[in-house]
Structure 1
Amino acid sequence: MHYIMTFVWSFLLVAMLNYVAGSIGGNAFDFMAGVTVSIVLAILVLIITTIIPDESPADV
């Protein structure tokens, strides 16, 4: 479920950014470019979450 929701949120945020930036720049909305970037973003986020440890550092 964690992986699915990561993709859903990345897709929604990238699609929104793609639409707004395209509208400001006067470009057409490209759905497949948004899907590609959202997949890359979701994979990047999942990699970062596996690298960062879950436990907090010990108090010295």
Structure 2
Amino acid sequence: MRYFWTFFWAFLLVHMLTYVTSSMVGSAYDFMTATILSVVVTILIFAIAALIPNEPVNDQH
């Protein structure tokens, strides 16, 4: 379920960002470009989450 929700929010936020930036630049909004970017962002989020360790770091004084 977390994969679905991560993709869902990445999809919405990337589409919003693509729409806003394309209108600020003055170019046309492209749905497929935003969809591909949202898939890439989702994969990057899962890759970063896999690289971050889950265990707490021990303090050694």
Considering the TM-score relative to the shorter chain, is it more than 0.5?
yes
Task: Give the letter aligned to residue 2 of structure 1.
Answer: R
Q: Distance in 2 between matches of 1:11 and 1:3?
A: 12
Question: Could you list the per-position Cα deviations for residues 9-53 of structure 1 after superposition, in whole angstroms to 9, with x for gaps in the alignment?
Answer: 111111011000011011111111000000011001101101111
Q: CA RMSD in A?
A: 0.8
| TM-score normalised by the chain length of structure 1 | 0.92
Q: Distance in 2 between matches of 1:2 and 1:47?
A: 14
Larger radius of gyration between Structure 1 and Structure 2? 2
Across the two proteins, how many residue pairs are aligned to each other?
Answer: 60
| TM-score normalised by the chain length of structure 2 | 0.91
Unaligned runs of 5+ in 2: none
Q: Distance in 1 between matches of 2:21 and 2:29?
A: 9
Unaligned runs of 5+ in 1: none
**Percent identity of paired positions between Structure 1 and Structure 2:** 47
